[in-house]
Amino acid sequence: MRLCNIKHSYLLQGGLYLLVWILLLNPIYAQERSHVLSQESDTLKPHHLSEVILYTSKREFKIDSPMPVQILSGKQLEKLNSLSVADAIRYFSGVQLKDYGGIGGLKTINVRSLGSAHTAVFYDGMSISNAQNGQVDLGRYSLDNIEAIELYNGQKSTIFQPARGFFASNTLYLRTKLPQFKEHKNTNIRIGLKSGSFGLVNPAMLFEQKLAEKISLTVSTEWTKADGHYKYRYQKLNGYDTTAVRQNGDIEAIRSELTLHAQVSETAKATFKAYFYDSDRGLPGAIVANNYEHVQRQSDRNFFVQGSFQNSYAKKFELLANLKFSNDFSRYIDPDYKTLEGVMDNKYYQKEFYASLANLYHITKWWKASLATDFSINTLDANLYRFPYPTRYSYLGALSSEMTWDRLDIQANLLGTYVDEQVKEYQQGDSQRIFCPVLSASYQPFNDKNFRIRAFYKESFRMPTFNDLYYTFIGNSSLKPEFTTQYNFGSTYIIEPAKVLQTASFQADLYYNRVKDKIIAMPSANLFRWTMVNLGEVEIKGIDINTNFVFKLPAQLFLDIGISYTYQKAIDITSPTGTTYKDQIPYTPENSGTLTSSLNWKNWQINYSFIYTGARYSQKANIPVNYVQPWYTSDMALVWTGKLLNIPVKTGVEVNNFFNQYYDVVLNFPMPGRNYRFNISFNF
């Protein structure tokens, strides 16, 4: 009888008590009418700019957010020729997307150079975590049913959220579409198809049904298949010039989601969601001299169910309860790695149980306090040699205060965590007790409500992943967490002249970050044997700038332009005697920027977007052999929206990487040249 089984049973009991408690309490209080509850769990209301006309975009701002936020939503999102969330987040400032290329290639986000494990990703309010490697592959999240992507440097601008929302250095929120029914219409169906280069076939279906006056059901499913073939080219001036076709980049994936929304009472709402993703893909590998074709494969199966309940009681008290269970399987096959038992075939099984309770109390009209407590259990099983079968129990608590006056908003959070590691065999990682303070404020210095300044200070950390701690021959069970400190000062300004220039917005932030006890791989006895250590300190100074302009031109033309720019000096300050002291850290350009634009005319829309990533170094030393050239791509699209046989239709043609530039985001993982996509969707 293992200890963790006992803990599991306690937990189940606890969960049941919690449910009963919520269900019992709710009807009693629900009688009392309350208007405190805001529709969004976020207490800061989004500031919508006056919607000029149907064709132009509706931009969302959270001007009084004390931490910088960037939002891509609705039409704004549709204008970027994006298949997945990963394609879209490239347009955020301060962000580097580590993209291994192709539809199936791993795509992870690195915000403000803190490292990809420092960005927490939330899907419909609940975090997607990967205790095994800390990576969330954003290429797997299709934009098909995504309504909005929000990126917060720091945390979401509300104190009423699950504790996990406070803990990460940066947070990315993916929000799926909420069903909206026109009068006398109880069913919405959207059928779409995307197809194009790389042998892509991607049919998708969205089904929305009003089950009762206040209950709706959404089913979203899609299938993606691609052979992943594309041309790439490597060349040197007066030297070699080789063009080849990317191999083993095929993918087949299915995603299915079911969501139930219920407005339980005037003050209470509940959501249930089930998610399933299954994929099989080739791993095209690094292109190195004389070795262009790889045979490794990976398959994944992710499943989760989550339930959320939110209510407010007696105008004073609000409650948010979340439960989630996820089960992930992943398998890696390397036919070139031949062992006595056959080829390498590693299987990983991850489970997570997560429960969260957040309470908000309105002390006075201007003062709110909240307590959020989360509990989670993570397990990992793998068919690896000397695998310890770890279980992690995490207890998170966040005590917060928010004071809001006309012109000033001040938030303070104290975060506390206790992480308990258990293993069945071999050495277990150390338990961790960590406290982190967060302080943030937003201030309106002038009478103009559309100009605000903000500042924040935030300490956060990431736990070593199970791979860091336990991976056979690499893991180091004595690792400590990796810490970050962030300071940010910024402002937002919005003008609405409503003339030729309809609206303009400006957002600028200066920041200073430190990463210490960075978890890195270090060689031990020989090249086969690496081990993870807490070594490395990084200092990051940066500027993020975002601007948006909407123009109303003659002849019903609307022009929308967005420009973002990022400057980052992210240097290695590990050791003054080290050979790479003060060198820019790998894959961090000093300058990068994006431009998005769209021109609307009646039913037609032309989009153009441009991404520039400056020169980078592929390894720690800033020397010529590690220099990676800048790259820039131009994507274009032509979109028509209208009716075909009285059915609303949207169709478009996209040309990505229009100037057919060959480049690597990650060294030796070539990106596609010019490619095409066609899409059509029907609404019933």
Partner 1 sequence: MKINYKYGRLLLLLAVAFTSCQEDAPSIEEEVIELPSETVVSVEGFYLLNEGNMSSNKASLDYYDYATGTYRRNIYSQANPDATLGLGDVGNDIGIYGNKIYAVINNSNKVEVLDATTEKRLAVIDVKNCRYITFASGKAYVSAYDGEVGVGDSSPNGFVSEIDTTALKITRTVRVGRQPEEIAVVGKKLYVANSGGYNPDNYEKTVSVIDLETFTKIKDIEVAVNLHRLKADSDGDLYVSSRGDYYSIPSNLFVIDTKTDAVKKVFDVACANLTIVGDNAYVIGSDFSYTTFNFVISYSLINVRTETLSTASFLPKSVSDLIQTPYGIAVDPLSKNVYITDAGDYVSPGKLYCVDATGNLKFSVTTGDIPAHIAFKNKTK
For residue 576, state whether it binds partner 1 (rule: CB under 8 A): no
Tokens representing 329 are: 């399987």
**Residue spans of alpha helices (H) in 471-542:** none
DSSP 56: S
Site string for partner 1, 444-473 (x = CB under 8 A): ----------------------------xx
Query: Among residues 374 and 635, whose Cβ is nearest to partner 1?
Result: 635
User: Which residue among 5, 336, 497, 646 contacts partner 1 (CB under 8 A)?
Assistant: 336
User: Which residue among 631, 656, 672, 679 contacts partner 1 (CB under 8 A)?
Assistant: 631
- Binding window for partner 1 (CB under 8 A); candidates: 76-84, 111-119, 316-324, 342-350: 342-350
Query: Among residues 393 and 631, whose Cβ is nearest to partner 1?
Result: 631
User: Which residue among 14, 630, 642, 648 contacts partner 1 (CB under 8 A)?
Assistant: 630
Query: Among residues 446 and 528, whose Cβ is nearest to partner 1?
Result: 528
User: Which residue among 195, 221, 432, 634 contacts partner 1 (CB under 8 A)?
Assistant: 634
> Rounded to whole angstroms, how far apart are CA atoms 46 and 39?
11
Least Å distance, CB 610 to partner 1, is 6
Site string for partner 1, 642-681 (x = CB under 8 A): -----------------x-xxx---xx-------------
For residue 551, state whether it binds partner 1 (rule: CB under 8 A): yes
Query: Among residues 243 and 327, whose Cβ is nearest to partner 1?
Result: 243
DSSP-assigned states of every residue in 28-43: HHHTS------SSSSS
Query: Among residues 327 and 591, whose Cβ is nearest to partner 1?
Result: 591
Tokens representing 561 are: 């332009």
Tokens representing 170 are: 């940066």
> What's the chain's Rg over C-alpha atoms?
25
User: 197 with 173: CB under 8 angstroms?
Assistant: no
**How many other C-beta atoms lie within 10 A of the C-beta of residue 674?**
17
**In Å, how far from its chain's centre is CA 447?**
36
User: Which residue among 31, 528, 645, 646 contacts partner 1 (CB under 8 A)?
Assistant: 528
For residue 500, state whether it binds partner 1 (rule: CB under 8 A): yes
Which H or E run includes 17?
A: helix 3-30
User: Which residue among 50, 186, 187, 242 contacts partner 1 (CB under 8 A)?
Assistant: 242
Q: Is the dihedral of CA 133, 139, 141, 146 positive or negative?
A: positive
- Binding window for partner 1 (CB under 8 A); candidates: 83-91, 216-224, 304-312, 517-525: 517-525
For residue 185, state whether it binds partner 1 (rule: CB under 8 A): no
For residue 247, state whether it binds partner 1 (rule: CB under 8 A): no
CA distances from 589 to 612, 632, 665 (A): 10, 13, 11
> Rounded to whole angstroms, how far apart are CA atoms 610 and 597?
9
Select from 353, 243, 520, 388 the least CA-distant residue to 8: 353
For residue 3, state whether it binds partner 1 (rule: CB under 8 A): no
**How many other C-beta atoms lie within 10 A of the C-beta of residue 173?**
21
Residue 74: phi and psi, rounded to 5, are 50, -125
For residue 385, state whether it binds partner 1 (rule: CB under 8 A): yes
Task: Name every residue whose Cβ is closer than 8 Å to that of residue 387 and which is 6 or more positions away in sequence.
Answer: 381, 425, 470, 472
Within positions 582 to 621, which residues make up the interface with partner 1, using CB under 8 A? 595, 597, 610, 618-621
Select from 281, 619, 344 the least CA-distant residue to 472: 344
CA distances from 652 to 83, 364, 421, 600, 636 (A): 13, 52, 51, 13, 10
User: 154 with 440: CB under 8 angstroms?
Assistant: yes
User: Which residue among 1, 28, 237, 645 contacts partner 1 (CB under 8 A)?
Assistant: 237
Within positions 274 to 313, which residues make up the interface with partner 1, using CB under 8 A? 285-291
- Binding window for partner 1 (CB under 8 A); candidates: 10-18, 74-82, 301-309, 625-633: 625-633
Least Å distance, CB 185 to partner 1, is 41
Q: Which residues bind partner 1 (CB under 8 A)?
A: 234-240, 242, 285-291, 336-344, 385-386, 427, 472-473, 476, 478, 500-501, 522-531, 551, 553-554, 559, 579-580, 595, 597, 610, 618-621, 623-625, 629-632, 634, 659, 661-663, 667-668
